Structure 1
């Protein structure tokens, strides 16, 4: 990834990924607007739209950590258009119940305004996630 302006929408999104990777939910919440809308794709185990920084971390990140070992989102490629940041990424993890690995490609669409993430939408092959979570 090339150099990104510290105040840019892409750099804010990058800080969110780094906080997630470090398990630093406080730092992750600091990247989210108070009225954030965070949407996990239909068919994903945590499908739905979550609001507020605490709502996002308690309903998404904490639940992923409870069900999966080593859950990580790897932010590979950024495509930026103004306030829109699309990240082509990968999830890696191992399901705690089945022991199956999860290597899946994803796309994340962030909207950044006023230096905070105001909207997130996940796109993922939910069948691969379901297969890893099913015995």
Structure 2
């Protein structure tokens, strides 16, 4: 698979809740960095931490949570994905949409680092 195909597979794993597929395309030393302004944003280490605290956490916090992709940018061992988050907060029932960029670094055909940059104001507005 090309690096873009690997990242497309990562999004498929997220959409279909395929945790084993996600584990298979991540390196053992995966770093998952969400910007600090993001709800629960911080750095997590390893695929298990991402599955439990990020993927499952998003599902606990939001209904119909998604990342809608508008563009993939190929920079060799780095793939940038431009898009936006969408969802409805479970408690407040408010909708949100937030522009975001995801930056993935790959090594040896595996995702070794994720960095997220998001406009989080609409998320916090929906949560309050």
Q: TM-score, normalised by structure 1?
A: 0.91
Alpha carbons 2:34, 2:43 under 8 Å: kept = yes
Structure 1 residues 71-118: Cα deviation after superposition (integer angstroms, max 9, x where no partner): 111222011111010000111110001101111211000001111100
Residue 133 of structure 1: aligned partner: 127
1:55 and 2:49 aligned: yes
Report how far residue 59 of structure 1 moved. Answer: 1.2
Residue 5 of structure 2: aligned partner: 11
Runs of 4+ with >4 A deviation = none
1:97 match: secondary structure: coil
Once residues 119 and 49 of structure 1 are traced to their aligned partners in structure 2, the CA distance between those partners, rounded to angstroms, is: 10
Q: TM-score, normalised by structure 2?
A: 0.95
How is 1:1-135 mapped onto 2 (pairs within 5 angstroms)?
7-134=1-128
2:91 match: secondary structure: coil
1:130 match: secondary structure: helix
Number of equivalenced pairs: 128
Unaligned 5+ runs, structure 1: 1-6
Structure 1 residues 5-59: Cα deviation after superposition (integer angstroms, max 9, x where no partner): xx11111011001111112222222221110000011111121100111011111
1:99 match: secondary structure: coil
Once residues 51 and 113 of structure 1 are traced to their aligned partners in structure 2, the CA distance between those partners, rounded to angstroms, is: 16
RMSD, aligned α-carbons: 1.0
Alpha carbons 2:38, 2:120 under 8 Å: kept = yes
